[in-house]
Homo-oligomer: A and B are copies of this chain.
């Protein structure tokens, strides 16, 4: 064992929040560690980050600490959900390390790179259950079950002992696609002795078990059998097991399946390409589907989260080139509501109901199961692995704290509820936070990676609140104003409740202020800006009752 060598764990994303998982394992003495990153995901922006669709962890710490010195050995991917792989193609130019993934995950990542014009990323495609070494780390992928093909835990063997990083998992005793949980290997490492388990916390607040995919498949078969009109099913495109279930439910009811939506087509294409699809699954093209009787077709659609540009929303607002739904037809939401999306999903469902469509959701029928372990499944995992230490990840504060508590009840010696940036020593010695490193967020703003806290979001929110008013005034060297100022407004009402034109109110206020201004005053930019702003505010604010962003531009001629 190298002198002062430590095994540390460091989450830069996903601990204290749902989404954008980025976990690091470090081995070696302080300041001379080799690092391996596990997963590199995104989360989605919301009203608090206007203009930003994707947010990822800021990798600055590991870039500064390790990349330049060749200290980042690899990025290992557990599975292909966006919150685990969505940032890879964005951040890889700064990470510059090889990327390990199984076939399905790897192919999806390869396509993401291609979209960004990176055609030869250093992707190492490995088998399920593969074992390989990097530096002093020995890695073994262990097959789990989840809501996407090829979900893997990672067994990390070092001189300090064995660590299991679970990734995302559930215990599906009857999955619709892919192998069962490799409980044999989990039990074996449990027998060998596991130092620490880094484990999924998503559903720790939910008692019982998450339920199996085959139960969903069976219920879908029954529900579809009861329908005589067109049926559309929407679900997460990455849940290929669910897509297969829907296909089988359709086949049993003598319905052809037509895939609608780009990510649905892409996922099925990748599943096909990587050999995951059963032989007997086939699809009809959109143009063929139109000729089939209503009771012979099933549309498998994107858009379960109410995304306005996805297939189902387009169908609902009668804006889809090929699919029309109405009276007698049925839409099954084989999905859950991701927090933040409830309002748009309900609106979508109402729009469908207004068309006469019957809407079935997981609230009405057993048409969805979670991909994450509920409490009884967690209990089973701890029984298999019997780790000495537990470090819950993949959850908000509530989840991590409850999971840490549960782990103690399940017999671990120590557990820690940590947050992004907490560096935890797993060995040697007791489980302990030994450092806190910068762990911020990067907003993916178009092509630009915008660190949080720059003020840009605040500016955008202010613009969203009250628009802006740009006023340009030309002033000559003697302080004279030889031309009418130009004024442009955006995001402001045109008129007040009595119909008075707001732009005119502004123009009058500007003219009045300039009339009153002496030539001397007009020579001072700050004075011009202050005077114009004050005059416009005095006239506009009482009428509108709120404040716009005023930009005063001065051309000194």
Residues of A within 8 A of B (CB): 16, 46-47, 50-51, 205, 339-340, 342-343, 346, 349-351, 353-354, 359, 363, 396-398, 401, 419, 445-450, 454, 456, 459-468, 470-474, 476, 482-488, 490-494, 496-497, 543-546, 549, 551, 553-557
Closest 10 CB pairs of A and B: A446-B545, A472-B472, A447-B545, A446-B546, A472-B553, A50-B464, A464-B464, A474-B555, A463-B463, A350-B397
A398–B345 Cα gap in the complex (Å)? 12
Q: Which residues of B contact A50 (CB under 8 A)?
A: 464-465
Q: Are B456 and A492 in contact (CB under 8 A)?
A: yes
A205/B363 in contact, CB under 8 A: yes
Partner of A490, one of B447, B473, B549: B549
Cα A337 to Cα B520 with chains together (Å): 59
Q: Chain B contacts of A450 at CB under 8 A?
A: 493
State A421–B216 Cα separation when bound (angstroms): 41
Collect the chain B residues with CB atoms within 8 Å of residue A350's CB: 16, 396-398
Q: Is the CB of A470 within 8 A of B470?
A: yes
Please give me the residue from chain B that is nearest to A339 by CB atom: B342
Identical chains bound together, number = 2
In the bound complex, residues from chain B placing their C-beta under 8 Å from that of A494 are: 454, 456
Chain B residue with minimal CB distance to A343? B340
A240, B159: Cα distance in complex, Å:
63
Pairs A–B under 8 Å by Cβ, sample size 20: A16-B354, A46-B47, A47-B47, A339-B342, A339-B343, A349-B398, A446-B546, A449-B497, A456-B467, A456-B494, A460-B464, A463-B463, A463-B490, A468-B490, A470-B472, A470-B488, A472-B472, A474-B555, A476-B557, A488-B551
Bound CA span A389–B101, Å = 63
Assess the B468–A463 pair: CB atoms within 8 A.
Answer: yes
B445 and A493 form a contact (CB under 8 A): yes
CB contacts (< 8 Å) of A555 on chain B: these are 472-474, 483-486, 555
Which residues in B have their C-beta under 8 angstroms from that of A543?
A: 447-448
Cross-chain contact A340 with B342 (CB below 8 angstroms): yes
A353 touching B397 in the complex, CB below 8 Å, given contacts A454-B494, A463-B490, A553-B486: yes
CA gap between A89 and B497 in the complex, in Å: 15
| A419 CA / B354 CA spacing, docked (Å) | 10
Distance (whole angstroms) from the CB of A236 to the closest CB of chain B: 18
Contact of A483 among B446, B474, B491, B549 (CB under 8 A): B474
A471 to B470, CA, bound (A): 9
Within the complex, the shortest CB–CB distance from A299 to chain B, in Å, comes to: 21
CB pair B340 A483 closer than 8 Å: no
Contact partner, A446, options B397, B463, B544, Cβ 8 Å: B544
Give Cα A460 to B467, complex, Å. Answer: 6
Given contacts A490-B459, A556-B483, A557-B474, contact A468 B468 (CB under 8 A): yes
Q: Is the CB of B546 within 8 A of A445?
A: yes
Assembly CA distance A497 to B351 (angstroms)? 42
- Give complex CA distance A475, B346 in Å: 53
Contacts of A483 on B, CB cut-off 8 Å? 474, 555-557
**Set of chain B residues within 8 Å of A353, measured between Cβ atoms:** 397-398, 401
Chain B residues lying within 8 Å of A544, measured Cβ to Cβ, are 445-448
* A414 CB, min distance to chain B CBs, angstroms: 18
Question: Complex Cα distance A156/B467, Å?
Answer: 46
Find chain B residues with CB under 8 A from A359 CB.
Answer: 398
Q: Nearest residue in B to A463 (C-beta to C-beta)?
A: B463
Closest residue to A442 on the B side, CB-wise? B497
User: How far, in angstroms, from A152 to B77 measured CA to CA in the complex?
Assistant: 59
Task: State how many angstroms separate the Cβ of A439 from the closest Cβ of chain B.
Answer: 15
Known contacts A474-B483, A557-B482, A497 near B448 by CB under 8 Å: yes
- Which residue of chain B has its CB nearest to the CB of A482? B557
- Separation of A404 and B497 alpha carbons in the complex (Å): 38
Contacts of A448 in B (CB 8 A): 493, 496-497, 543-545
